[in-house]
Amino acid sequence: MDNLIVQMVNENQETLRMNWLKEVNLFKEKELAGMMTTFKFNEETDQQFFEMLIKHINYYDISKDGTLDQFFDQVLHTGLPLSYLTQGLQAARRVILNLLVETEKDKEKLAALYREIDRWLDPILNRVVENSSQIWEKTVSIQKTALLELSAPLIPVFKNISVMPLIGSIDTERAKLIMENLLNGVIKYRSEVVLIDITGVPVVDTMVAHHIIQAADAVRLLGSTCILVGIRPEIAQTIVSLGIDLSLFPTKSTLQKGMENALEITNQQLISNK
């Protein structure tokens, strides 16, 4: 860092702080006015933020030793938006540049100082963006695995009867998983009848229907029967409008009716113990 800048920043620390806070507060007002959710900004964080920037100028690169990461975590933890950090950094750049323009009149030197400031601020900005995108990527991948885990379990209920409840939208990845779990489960539990329950599937379009038909067909090849249950009236109507032929395998409106049918097929009976 150019000595001139360090010296100037230190001499004018209070003016810089005032100007910076003014800019940051302006941003906060705008943010609070425009956003639906309100953030709890506090002055302590502002002070810390500024001290950190001063430290960055005077002593060491805070994007490398974890100081920045720590602060970043703290900011997100208190529920402040990412834009608070980026705007704060940009505000710092503005106030320091303003001060430089006032003190340094030589154009070439000024340009050099500009570049110096850029070199100084860019790594922190990069780090902030990197950090936040990493956090998002991590969250998304965690949610993805969580989603896959509850994706398509096959549950053995009675002897030779299993149920696969499907909940939520079905995309290509899930469809593959459904097929795999279904076929593996049929072998593992020696299921003669499998009930696929689509009560929790919001939309049955041609793709979803196609996947279900394929799965049922594959189950049939293994010598078992697949019963589609949980067809809501509105879904039944859309399936008919779409012209999808589901006559190849039995369907029932509810899981209960399907289960009665399954017990019949496997020659079992539920006897109440009265």
- Please give the residue ranges that form the binding site for other proteins (CB under 8 A): 169, 171-172, 202-207, 209-210, 213, 233-235, 237-238, 241-244
Query: Residue 178 and residue 216: Cα distance in Å, rounded?
Result: 11
250 C-beta neighbours (distance < 10 Å), count: 18
DSSP state of 39: P
Smallest distance, Å, CB 194 to other proteins? 22
Greatest C-alpha distance within the chain: 101
Q: For residue 242, which amino acid is it? A: L
Smallest distance, Å, CB 176 to other proteins? 12
Smallest distance, Å, CB 249 to other proteins? 15
Query: Residue 156 and residue 166: Cα distance in Å, rounded?
Result: 15
Q: Which residue number, 15 or 169, has a Cβ lying nearer to other proteins? A: 169
Could you give the 3-state DSSP secondary structure of residue 62?
coil
Q: Which residue number, 91 or 196, has a Cβ lying nearer to other proteins? A: 196
- Note whether 246 and 209 are within 8 A (CB): yes
Smallest distance, Å, CB 146 to other proteins? 15
Q: Which residue number, 85 or 235, has a Cβ lying nearer to other proteins? A: 235
Q: Which residue number, 241 or 267, has a Cβ lying nearer to other proteins? A: 241
Angle made by CA atoms 123, 119, 29, in degrees to the nearest 5: 65
Q: What are phi and psi of 30, to 5 degrees?
A: -60, -45
Q: Which residue number, 91 or 209, has a Cβ lying nearer to other proteins? A: 209
Q: Which residue number, 183 or 231, has a Cβ lying nearer to other proteins? A: 231
Smallest distance, Å, CB 258 to other proteins? 21
Smallest distance, Å, CB 100 to other proteins? 42
Instruction: Please state the separation of Cα 204 from the chain's center in Å.
Output: 25
Query: What are the structure tokens assigned to 75, written together?
Result: 């900011």
